[in-house]
Amino acid sequence: MAPTAQQVLNLAASEVGYSRWSDPATGTKYGRWYAERVGVPYFGANGVPYCAMFTSYVLVKSGIMPPGGIFAYVPSGINQARRAGRLVPVASAQPGDLIPFDWNGDGIADHIGFFVRWVRAGVMETIEGNTSTGAAGSQSNGGVVARRVRSTAQACGAIRPAYAAAAAPASTGSSGKPARLVVDGVGGALTVTAAQAVYNTPRDGKITGQWQPNARFWPALTAVGYGSGGSTLVRTIQYWVKTTQDGLLGPDTIKALQSALSVPADGVMGAQTMKAWQTWLNQKLGY
């Protein structure tokens, strides 16, 4: 029985953090698998881009083939999906779809990853192989598996594997407009919920997956959960302020947010920064 889209995304998420640079063996985990699968040693060698092989690996390990079969070259995957009737417009992308990207607009796709959810119109969260964690590195040969936030402007449609059930619409959290925030300089659950509503991320009133030593950088923030994986809210903020999208609220992200809020950029989210953010959130919510 074919897996669900969520099962595939769960496996893709478990691969986040892999780096070819710390892999002790020749080539990459995904290239070695692909080379053995197709009987061509080249794909397991050093320096072979692996974004497409990553998507093939995740799908096959989950129990489903990409439309038309596994592929190592993104344009081949697009052509296979088109022939199979599994290529759809990116505007209708659903969780579990494969999103190919054309970075330089030459009509030839350069990169591919898994669609996770819509952040807002025209902006999506993805899980990609062989990328970088932010805009500073190579987007299609950065060597790591990472969550990214991408614009649809450079997407070349969406490839839809034949999952067991139709992919459900991406969750946008609870509906309804949050109440007006009291601008008190304390970032509790209500402030975080308002931010999650403004940035269109799932609402739970907490910034989760944070690294505890970073707590010294946000004394005015109280609604925090420690752990691994980072926060979807923080990752989305990082996309908009153009910092590394690792989901961790550190000084670089805070400085960029402070600059956007026109407050002193000292890298510490104290009461002044929190009040400015609360005021901005109220404005975005229409108060």
**Average pLDDT by consecutive 10-residue portion of the chain (287 residues)?**
89 94 96 97 96 98 95 97 91 91 94 92 91 85 92 93 63 67 92 91 89 93 88 88 89 96 96 96 94
In the numeric block, the tokens 């990752």 are attached to 235
pLDDT of residue 282: 95
pLDDT of residue 89: 87
pLDDT of residue 230: 85
Largest CA-CA distance found in the chain, in angstroms, rounded: 63
pLDDT of residue 172: 40
Q: What is the pTM of this model?
A: 0.64
Q: Could you tell me the domains of the chain?
A: 5-159 (3.90.1720.10), 189-284 (no CATH)
pLDDT of residue 94: 87
